[in-house]
Amino acid sequence: MTKKADIGVTGLAVMGRNLARNLARRGHTVALHNRSESRTRELIEQFGDEGDFAPAYSAREFVDALERPRKLVVMVKAGGPTDAVIEEFAPLLDEGDVIVDAGNAHFADTRRREAALRERGLHFVGTGVSGGEEGALHGPSIMPGGSAESYESLGPLLESIAAHVDGEPCCTHIGADGAGHFVKMVHNGIEYSDMQLIAESYDLLRGALGYEPAQIADVFRTWNAGRLESYLIEITAEVLGHTDAATGRPFVDVVADEAEQKGTGRWTVQIGLDLGEPITGIAEATFARSLSGHADLRSAAHGLAGPTRAPLSGADAERFADDVEQALYASKVVAYAQGFNQILAGAAEYGWDIDLGKVAAIWRGGCIIRARFLDDIRAAYADEADLPTLLTSGGFRKAVEDAQDSWRSVVQTAVRLGIPTPGFSTALAYYDALRADRLPAALVQGQRDFFGAHTYRRVDSGGVFHTEWAADGRPEHPA
Ligand code: 6PG
């Protein structure tokens, strides 16, 4: 009797193949399946010696190779293909078996699938997997949702292949049904925001100081030795330091300046709008990608008036790179504060019990936004579980306070030189709005009541009011 497989992977493109290899390397017996048999055979031929694989060439053979409760990881394109694979396997499974969707599925699809499969006695676990192909092979950050019962048998397997930081796996049960994919979606939204802030920092150092990419790479290497240490800062230094082999020019200068996006950042913004969560950093980062792609509009606008871009000099230039580091750090705190509050809003909306400290802890390694910074976030939530925003937590509050002058100076310089910094600017605007005594929203309420009788509340009494704007004396009265 051959040993049954601990877990199976169907869908052996690079991510699925690397997850299967990672599982086998960790000593698990892994059943393999792919729609086209050749991918299964290729994996065995190339990597069969890495561990104990059980190749299967039909759905039935794949299911029969798995020990109970069966755990099938589906790694196919999000949307229709995932539904198709679920329907191919679900009828072959028994009560208590677990289907795991490790793709970037939309959390609403995951909630739908989890409810439908629960009706059929099956567990459906949508899990975020972050870290790209390398992460899948060497240790990603893993964000599973689904039932607590499914995590009992699935969790130890996922934790064994996840990245580890201080001996702790970058994997935890995030919450029920779609919670895992929701948190992965927000991870990607924060990723967009972080990448945009880094890109703006590069643009500022180039536009305001006249630095060449190689010089800016050195600045990022210096920053990566300090509080901004992160995977994204590290790879930015690599990208900016790279010379294009074909032309001998700085690589960044031969890349078309039109950013693309597969969609998870867009989802984060759409859900933020639905939840009423002002995730302005993620929104501006997503819109910045969209704007960069409007080539015709940009060329039509190319001649529009703007300031002459004279590089800074003297003391201003001496100080500017440090000012940008401060502005980047402060804007990053805002962006992460917004992202974590979106997770809280999602948890409240969908009835999930999500521990933000644990989310920060599993993002310390393996994922694209992995950074020393996340340790500070984990500590902030450990100190104050019901923290209203990261901005009011001790360490971050002081750091952002200390960054004030630099942050404002950098945004002013950007405006003066005509360098677009939507990320830095929206972060500062969010910060100032959040801490303001009074917001001009009072006037907006007055306008709404004037043209649409939409009513307003007052600062001096409870209830809802309307003003008879067309009448003499314009009497106000409870609506
Ligand atoms: C990750 C990444 C990944 C992302 C791709 C493409 O966590 O490993 O976030 O999931 O989808 O890198 O992202 P965009 O095309 O949306 O930039």
Q: Which atom of ligand 1 is nearest to the CA of 367?
A: 7
Q: What share of the chain is helix, strand, coil (3-state, %, to 5)?
A: 60, 10, 30
pLDDT at residue 361 tops 70: yes
Spatial contact of 98 and 157, defined as CB atoms under 8 Å apart: no
Among residues 114, 159, 184, 200, the one annotated as catalytic is 184
Spatial contact of 7 and 102, defined as CB atoms under 8 Å apart: no
For the ranges 11-20, 283-292, 308-317, which has the lowest average pLDDT?
A: 308-317
Spatial contact of 186 and 179, defined as CB atoms under 8 Å apart: no
**Which value, to the nearest 10 degrees, does the dihedral of the CA atoms of residues 297, 298, 301, 305 take?**
160
Distance 191 CA to ligand 1 centre (A): 8
Task: Give the SS3 label for residue 97.
Answer: coil
pLDDT at residue 425 tops 90: yes
Distance 106 CA to ligand 1 centre (A): 13
What is the value of pTM for the model shown? 0.97
More confident residue, 309 or 243: 243
Q: Which atom of ligand 1 is nearest to the CA of 260?
A: 15
Residue 360 corresponds to which amino acid? Answer: A
- Give the residues across from 52 on adjacent strands: 29
Task: Give the SS3 label for residue 29.
Answer: strand
Q: What is the predicted pLDDT for the residue at 308?
A: 86
Spatial contact of 154 and 40, defined as CB atoms under 8 Å apart: no
Q: What is the predicted pLDDT for the residue at 3?
A: 85
Nearest to 127 by CA among 118, 138, 116, 140: 140
Mutate to test the pocket of ligand 1, among 191, 268, 369 (most ligand atoms within 8 A of CB): 191
Q: What is the predicted pLDDT for the residue at 151?
A: 98
Q: What is the predicted pLDDT for the residue at 392?
A: 98
Among residues 71, 114, 159, 191, the one annotated as catalytic is 191
Nearest to 178 by CA among 119, 142, 213, 128: 128
CA 369 vs CA 114, 162, 443: distances in Å: 28, 15, 39
Spatial contact of 100 and 125, defined as CB atoms under 8 Å apart: yes
Q: Which of the four pLDDT bands, split at 50, 70 and 90, describes residue 309?
A: confident
Per the prediction, the chain carries an average pLDDT of 97
Spatial contact of 360 and 349, defined as CB atoms under 8 Å apart: no
CA 256 vs CA 17, 264, 288, 301: distances in Å: 31, 22, 14, 18
Q: Which of the four pLDDT bands, split at 50, 70 and 90, describes residue 1?
A: low
* Structure confidence by residue, pLDDT tens digits, 49-95: 999 999 999 999 999 999 999 999 999 999 999 999 999 999 999 99
Owner of token pair 């809802």: 464
Q: What is the predicted pLDDT for the residue at 389?
A: 98
Does 127 sit in the ligand 1 pocket, CB within 6 Å?
Answer: no
**DSSP H helical ranges for 177-309:** 179-209, 213-223, 231-241, 251-254, 264-275, 280-292, 295-301
Distance 77 CA to ligand 1 centre (A): 13
Does 191 sit in the ligand 1 pocket, CB within 6 Å?
Answer: yes
pLDDT at residue 260 tops 60: yes
Q: What is the predicted pLDDT for the residue at 310?
A: 85
Q: Which atom of ligand 1 is nearest to the CA of 104?
A: 10
Spatial contact of 180 and 347, defined as CB atoms under 8 Å apart: no
Distance 189 CA to ligand 1 centre (A): 10
DSSP annotation of 391 reads: G
Angle at 234 between CA 323 and CA 265, to 5 degrees: 85
Six token digits for residue 468:
């008879």
Q: Which atom of ligand 1 is nearest to the CA of 264?
A: 16
Mutate to test the pocket of ligand 1, among 18, 231, 262 (most ligand atoms within 8 A of CB): 262
Active site residue 184: yes
Active site residue 398: no
Distance 359 CA to ligand 1 centre (A): 18
Six token digits for residue 346:
């999602």
CA–CA gap between residue 343 and residue 427 (Å, rounded): 18
Does 265 sit in the ligand 1 pocket, CB within 6 Å?
Answer: yes
Six token digits for residue 58:
């039909």
pLDDT at residue 452 tops 70: yes
DSSP annotation of 347 reads: H
Residue 101 corresponds to which amino acid? Answer: D
Q: What is the predicted pLDDT for the residue at 372?
A: 84
Nearest to 253 by CA among 265, 263, 239: 239
CA 371 to chain centre: 13
Q: What is the DSSP string of 246-275?
A: TTSSBHHHHS-S-----SHHHHHHHHHHHH
Q: Which atom of ligand 1 is nearest to the CA of 261?
A: 15
Average of per-residue pLDDT across 32-55: 97
Q: Side by side, which strands form the sheet with 98-101? A: 52-55, 29-33, 7-10, 71-74, 98-101, 123-130, 141-144
Q: Which helix (H) or strand (E) holds 158?
A: helix 148-161
Six token digits for residue 43:
């994996």
Q: What is the predicted pLDDT for the residue at 84?
A: 96
Q: Which of the four pLDDT bands, split at 50, 70 and 90, describes residue 341?
A: very high
Task: Give the SS3 label for residue 465.
Answer: strand
Task: Give the SS3 label for residue 341.
Answer: helix
Distance 436 CA to ligand 1 centre (A): 35
Q: What is the DSSP string of 407-447?
A: HHHHHHHHHHHT---HHHHHHHHHHHHHH-SS-THHHHHHH
Angle at 174 between CA 375 and CA 128, to 5 degrees: 90
CA–CA gap between residue 162 and residue 363 (Å, rounded): 11
Residue 109 corresponds to which amino acid? Answer: D
Does the CA dihedral 112-118-120-123 come out positive or negative? positive
Average of per-residue pLDDT across 377-390: 96
Nearest to 190 by CA among 394, 356, 30, 322: 356
pLDDT at residue 451 tops 60: yes
Radius of gyration, alpha carbons of the chain: 26
